Amino acid sequence: MLKVRDLHVYYGVIHAVKGITFDVPEGKIVTLIGANGAGKSSTLKAVAGLVKPKGHIQFLGHEMVGRSAHKIARRGAALVPEGRHVFVNLTILENLRMGGFNKKRSELEPLYEKAFEMFPILKERANQKAGTLSGGEQQMLALARALMSEPSLLMLDEPSLGLAPKIVSEVFDIVKMLNSKGMTVLLVEQNAAQALKIAHYAYVLENGTITLEGNAKELLNNEDVRKSYLGEM
C-alpha cells in the first residue's frame, strides 16, 4: 500500500531523515521504533505531506512527494499526530465533524454512530469541549477523528505518549482490533515493547537511518533491541 524509497527530510541544515526505505503492505501493522530525535515524526509528516521530503513515497500506486497534505488525506492516508492535537475549544462532535472533511452531510451520521460504538465515552460527552477530556480520552478522540475520513492507511505518531499503562493497553487493543477488521497501520513508537507486540513488521530508526528491520516477533527477541529499546541489561 505504501512504498517509501530513499526518503530524506531536511530542516534547513538539519538532515533529520537520511535516505530511508520501507514498505507498509495492505492489511498489516508496520512499526517504526526509535529514540527521541531519531526521525520518526519527520517520516510520518513526510508521508502525510506536512513537510517536503526528497525521495519517493508511493501510496496506492501514486507518487505523493510534491502533493499537498490535503490531497494526500483525500487519497486516504490519515495521520494522528504526536501530542494528539484535538481542537480543545470545539466539542467532541465538532472534532469528529472536522475528521469527516471528505464526507457529505448525509454520510456523517453513520460514521458518528460507528465512532460512538467504538468509543462510548465520546458519546456520553459528545457536546462537551474536547479540552475537558483526559489525556487518554483525547487520544481516543484523535483516533476517532482520523477514522471519520475512512482512511485506507492509518498513521499513528506515539499514541502511547504520556498515558498511564492501562490506557496505553486500551489504545493498542483498539489499534489491533482496527487492524483485524482490515485497517492498514503505520505506527511510530518509543514504546517499543508494546509496538512490537501488535505489529507484523518493524524498522528500527537511529539518527535518521534504518539500522535494523524484521518481523516484529524476531525483533522482540533480538539482543540489541532488548538492550537498547526494551530497557533490559
Ligand X SMILES: Nc1ncnc2c1ncn2[C@@H]1O[C@H](COP(=O)(O)OP(=O)(O)OP(=O)(O)O)[C@@H](O)[C@H]1O
Classify 28 as helix, strand or coil.
Answer: coil
- Report d(CA 41, CA 50) in Å as an integer: 10
The interface region with ligand X, picked from 19-27, 39-47, 53-61, 127-135 by CB under 6 A, is 39-47
Classify 56 as helix, strand or coil.
Answer: strand
Candidate residues 7, 9, 29, 41; the one interacting with Mg ion per rule CB under 5 A? 41
DSSP state of 39: S
Residue (82 or 170) nearer to ligand X, CB: 82
34 is a contact residue toward ligand X (CB under 6 A) = yes
- Asked if 183 and 26 count as a contact pair (C-beta separation under 8 A), the reply is no
What is the closest distance, in whole angstroms, from the C-beta atom of residue 111 to ligand X in the complex? Answer: 30
Residue (32 or 225) nearer to Mg ion, CB: 32
The interface region with Mg ion, picked from 40-48, 116-124, 129-137, 142-150 by CB under 5 A, is 40-48
Residue (36 or 106) nearer to ligand X, CB: 36
CA angle 4, 9, 10 (to 5 degrees): 165
20 is a contact residue toward ligand X (CB under 6 A) = no
Which residue, 14, 37, 17, 214, is CA-closest to 4? Answer: 17
Query: Grid coordinates standing for 177?
Result: 482490533
Residue (36 or 127) nearer to ligand X, CB: 36
* Residues lying near ligand X in the complex (CB under 6 A): 11, 14, 16, 34, 36-42, 82, 190
